């Protein structure tokens, strides 16, 4: 799994003798150290959720957004180095508007994911650039229905039913696999995502966290938006309840 | 009499695109003129952009050909990138971009028509200057001036494929009768979910309109021809 690549890990343009590029693997570690990010594809849309770790009591709630709208119909949740994430979001927004200017229609989510992945990969090809230290979960709703993609620092991009990155990704993935996503609506999905994030949050190691969620579904008229306050509160209450029940056992 | 044989090739033209319940019908005449001389009396003004999208060309022959060539090239790349056929809207937008960005140099009016699985049959008119307008039917070229009133009266929503094609053939034929820069044969292209069908109507198979005399073998036959009949629908 993890090993020190002495001598072969100084540059992203160097392969190790066993065929690995260590700089990219180290970039992935930066993502693993960040708060958990989850995305799920329900039958009528996508739900994205972020465990936003609060580093200081002085921070204003609602600031330092981790979920961004890339276009009317799609949004991105970032994990890892926040500043790197901002660059990727900016690039995705620019790709989306330039596609629409040229082709006269909203960029298909698949195409957007490919362009973001290409851009991330670009930065793994030159010695004078460092790889992006962040992973991205991209969710959107176009004429082919709702779609969820994940882009890693290596530039790999796959389409998923459910995806998780960050600290609690292993536990989160296990929980997501238990869900029957093809029968779930986004309303139900919001509750489930909140429950999972509360569950994988490590009270011991990290202190407070803020839950940030967004969706794009039939209910939101296929636009990417923050989950409405009312529903967000409902989800938080349900998640806390589920946690207490678990603890009571 | 000056035939201006060294003028630029121009397609005076009548071009038409019509949507029907399930697809589109594109139609055009076949005359290409250089000044007063008919350079090509059987040209094909309906050009393919992709498997499912065609364009009717009018105005300068060279300009419209070059625009079609560029758009065909861009669309091909787009199809490969996307992994599925391009939509009619995308094709029309690419035509519009070329027409608008080069408006000072080009003189061509185009009608883009086709079928895709998301929107069905669609027609887009792209006149001089590079505006793009989605319409249930579009007419263009010098011969179209004579068809505005005709379409106001004869066009209706939800026609069948045969009704739409007959409407197009009739309209082109009426325009040919009145417009000196249109003539020759009528070509149609029908595009729908099942694919593409090309049809050809030779000039002499077209109905004769008001005041057009019957063909005569001898001047003496004038004495025997009946008076022309009033126009029927």
User: Inter-chain contact B92–A102, Cβ cutoff 8 Å?
Assistant: no
User: Inter-chain contact B118–A111, Cβ cutoff 8 Å?
Assistant: no
CA distance A143 to chain B (A): 8
pLDDT of residue A247: 77
Among partner residues B82, B92, B132, which is closest to A111 by beta-carbon distance?
B82
pLDDT for B187 beyond 50: yes
pLDDT for B221 beyond 70: no
For residue A108, the 8-state DSSP code is: P
Q: How many CB atoms lie within 10 A of CB B201?
A: 17
What does the alpha-carbon distance between residue B16 and residue B197 come to, in Å, rounded to a whole number? Answer: 16
**B82 touching A, CB under 8 A?**
yes
pLDDT in tens, chain A (249 residues): 455 668 899 999 999 999 999 999 999 999 999 999 999 999 999 999 999 998 888 889 888 899 999 999 999 999 999 899 999 999 999 999 999 999 999 999 999 999 999 999 999 999 999 999 999 999 999 999 999 999 999 999 999 999 999 999 999 999 999 999 999 999 999 999 999 999 999 887 877 889 999 999 999 999 999 999 999 999 999 999 998 888 776
The reply to whether B108 belongs to the active site is no
- pLDDT band, very low/low/confident/very high, at B179 (cuts 50, 70, 90): very high
pLDDT > 70 fraction of chain B, expressed in percent and rounded? 86
pLDDT of residue B176: 94
Among partner residues A102, A108, A110, which is closest to B97 by beta-carbon distance?
A102
pLDDT of residue B212: 76
Q: pLDDT digit string (tens) for A130-154?
A: 999 999 999 999 999 999 999 999 9
For residue B83, list chain A residues with Cβ-Cβ distance below 8 A.
110
**B96 touching A, CB under 8 A?**
yes
pLDDT of residue B222: 65
For residue B92, list chain A residues with Cβ-Cβ distance below 8 A.
104
**B167 touching A, CB under 8 A?**
no
pLDDT of residue A38: 96
What does the alpha-carbon distance between residue A193 and residue B72 come to, in Å, rounded to a whole number? Answer: 46
For residue A106, list chain B residues with Cβ-Cβ distance below 8 A.
none
Taking CA–CA distances from A107, the nearest residue in chain B reads: B82
Decide: helix, strand or coil at residue A76. Answer: strand
Between A207 and B28, residue with greater pLDDT? B28
Name the residue with tokens 């000039």: B203
User: Inter-chain contact A104–B82, Cβ cutoff 8 Å?
Assistant: no
What does the alpha-carbon distance between residue A44 and residue A219 come to, in Å, rounded to a whole number? Answer: 8
What does the alpha-carbon distance between residue B196 and residue A240 come to, in Å, rounded to a whole number? Answer: 60
Decide: helix, strand or coil at residue A127. Answer: coil
pLDDT of residue A7: 87
Q: pLDDT digit string (tens) for B44-66?
A: 999 999 999 999 999 999 999 99
- The residue-averaged pLDDT of B72-96 equals 96
User: Inter-chain contact B93–A105, Cβ cutoff 8 Å?
Assistant: yes
User: Inter-chain contact A104–B78, Cβ cutoff 8 Å?
Assistant: no
For residue B81, list chain A residues with Cβ-Cβ distance below 8 A.
111
**A108 touching B, CB under 8 A?**
yes
Indicate if ipTM > 0.85: no
For residue A104, list chain B residues with Cβ-Cβ distance below 8 A.
89-90, 92-93, 96, 132
pLDDT for B96 beyond 60: yes
Q: How many CB atoms lie within 10 A of CB B166?
A: 14
Taking CA–CA distances from A109, the nearest residue in chain B reads: B82
Interface of B with A in 6-35 (CB under 8 A): none
E strands along chain A, which residues? 37-42, 45-53, 67-71, 74-80, 134-142, 145-151, 157-160, 162-165, 209-217, 225-226
pLDDT of residue B55: 98
pLDDT > 70 fraction of chain A, expressed in percent and rounded? 98
Which sign, positive or negative, has the C-alpha torsion A91, A93, A96, A98?
negative
pLDDT of residue B209: 84
3-state secondary structure B99-141: HHHCCCCCCEEEEEEEEECCCEEEEEEECCCCCCEEECEEEEC
Taking CA–CA distances from A99, the nearest residue in chain B reads: B90
pTM here? 0.86
- The residue-averaged pLDDT of B4-19 equals 81
**A145 touching B, CB under 8 A?**
no
For residue B89, list chain A residues with Cβ-Cβ distance below 8 A.
104-105
What does the alpha-carbon distance between residue A159 and residue A137 come to, in Å, rounded to a whole number? Answer: 10
- The residue-averaged pLDDT of B155-180 equals 95
pLDDT of residue A2: 53
Between B222 and B202, residue with greater pLDDT? B202
Interacting residues of A117 by C-beta distance below 8 A, sequence separation 6+: A151, A155, A156, A157
Contact assessment for residue B160 and residue B21, using Cβ atoms and an 8 Å cutoff: yes
pLDDT of residue B228: 67
pLDDT of residue B213: 67
| Angstrom distances, CA of residue A130 to CA of A77, A123, A127 | 21, 6, 7
């Amino acid at each position: 799994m993890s090993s020190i690549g002495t001598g072969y890990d100084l540059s992203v343009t160097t392969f190790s003798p066993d065929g690995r590029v260590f700089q990219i693997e180290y970039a992935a570690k930066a993502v693993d150290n960040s708060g958990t990010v989850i995305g799920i594809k329900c039958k009528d849309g996508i739900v994205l959720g972020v465990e936003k770790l609060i580093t200081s009591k002085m921070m204003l709630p609602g600031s330092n957004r981790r979920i961004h709208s890339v276009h009317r119909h799609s949004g991105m949740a970032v994990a890892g180095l926040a500043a790197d994430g901002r660059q990727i979001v900016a690039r995705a927004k620019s790709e989306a508007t330039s596609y629409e200017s040229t082709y006269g229609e909203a960029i298909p989510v698949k195409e957007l994911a490919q362009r973001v992945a290409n851009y991330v990969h670009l930065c793994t090809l030159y010695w004078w650039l460092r790889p992006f230290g962040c992973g991205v979960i991209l969710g959107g709703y176009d004429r082919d229905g709702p779609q969820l993609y994940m882009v890693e620092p290596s530039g790999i991009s796959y389409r998923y039913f459910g995806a998780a990155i960050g600290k609690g990704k292993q536990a989160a993935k296990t929980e997501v696999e238990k869900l029957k996503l093809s029968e779930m609506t986004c309303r139900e999905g919001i509750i489930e995502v909140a429950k999972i994030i509360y569950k994988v949050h490590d009270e011991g190691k990290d202190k407070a966290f803020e839950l940030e969620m967004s969706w794009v579904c039939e209910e939101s008229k296929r636009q990417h938006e923050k989950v409405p306050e009312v529903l967000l509160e409902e989800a938080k209450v349900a998640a806390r309840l589920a946690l207490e029940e678990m603890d009571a056992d | 009499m000056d035939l201006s044989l060294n003028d630029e090739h121009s397609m005076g033209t009548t071009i038409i695109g019509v949507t029907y319940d399930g697809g589109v019908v594109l139609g055009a005449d076949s005359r290409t003129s250089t000044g007063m001389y008919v350079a090509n009396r059987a040209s094909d003004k309906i050009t393919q952009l992709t498997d499912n999208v065609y364009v009717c060309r009018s105005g300068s022959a060279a300009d419209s050909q070059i625009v079609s060539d560029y758009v065909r090239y861009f669309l091909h790349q787009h199809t490969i990138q996307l992994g599925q056929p391009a939509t009619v809207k995308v094709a029309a937008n690419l035509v519009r971009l070329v027409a608008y960005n080069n408006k000072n140099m080009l003189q061509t009016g185009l009608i883009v028509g086709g079928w895709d699985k998301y929107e069905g049959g669609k027609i887009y008119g792209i006149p001089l200057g590079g505006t793009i307008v989605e319409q249930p039917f579009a007419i263009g070229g010098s011969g179209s001036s004579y068809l505005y009133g005709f379409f106001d009266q004869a066009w209706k929503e939800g026609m069948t494929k045969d009704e739409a094609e007959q409407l197009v053939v009739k309209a082109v034929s009426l325009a040919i009768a009145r417009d000196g820069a249109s003539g020759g044969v009528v070509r149609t292209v029908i595009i729908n979910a099942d694919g593409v069908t090309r049809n050809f109507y030779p000039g002499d198979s077209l109905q004769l309109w008001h005041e057009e005399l019957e063909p005569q073998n001898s001047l003496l036959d004038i004495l025997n021809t009946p008076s022309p009949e009033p126009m029927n629908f």
